[in-house]
Amino acid sequence: MPLPVQARVRTLLKNTGWLQADIETLADDADLYAAGLTSHATVNLMLALEEAFDIEFPDRLLRRRTFSSVDAIAEALVEIGVQKEAA
C-alpha cells in the first residue's frame, strides 16, 4: 500500500507540541495556524520536512501559506520533486 505524501507529513506533525490540536482530528485541508502553529513552530516544521524528505525549499516557497495545511505542504513537496506516493 503506497503511502501518500500527506500521511508522511502527518507523521512529522504528530507529538511535536507544535499544534494545540491533535493532528488526528484535523482534515488534510485544515488551517494549521488556526490549530496553533506559531511562526517559530513553522520554522521547526520546515526544517523537519527538509530533513525527512531530503529536500530544500526554494525561496519562493518560504511563505506562510506553504505550511498552512497538510495539503498545502504536500503540494509544495510534490512541486519540488517529492513523489506523490512512496512505497
Partner 1 sequence: MTVLADAHRAYRDDLLREGLLISMGVDGLYGRSGAFEQVVEGINAAFSAVGDPDGPEVMRFPPGIGKLQLEQSGYLKSSPQLVGTVHSFTGNDRDHRAMLERIDKHGDWTAEQKTTEVALAPAACYGVYPAIAARGRMAQDGALVDVYTYCFRHEPSIDPARMQMFRQREHVRLGSETQALAFRKLWMERGRAIIGSFALPFEVEVANDPFFGRTGKLLATSQREETLKFELLVPITSKEHPTACVSFNYHRDLFGRAWKIETDAGETAHTACVGFGVERIALALFKHHGFAFKAWPRSVRDVLGL
Residues forming contacts to partner 1 in the complex (CB under 8 A) are: 38-40, 42-43, 46-47, 56-57, 59, 62-65
Distances (CA, A) of 75 to 12, 47, 70, 84: 16, 17, 9, 9
User: Least CB distance from residue 76 to partner 1, whole Å?
Assistant: 12
Choose between 6 and 68: whose C-beta lies nearer to partner 1. 68
Choose between 25 and 39: whose C-beta lies nearer to partner 1. 39
Residues 6+ apart with CB under 8 A from 30: 69, 70
User: Least CB distance from residue 52 to partner 1, whole Å?
Assistant: 16
Record the cell numbers describing residue 72, joined without a space: 498545502
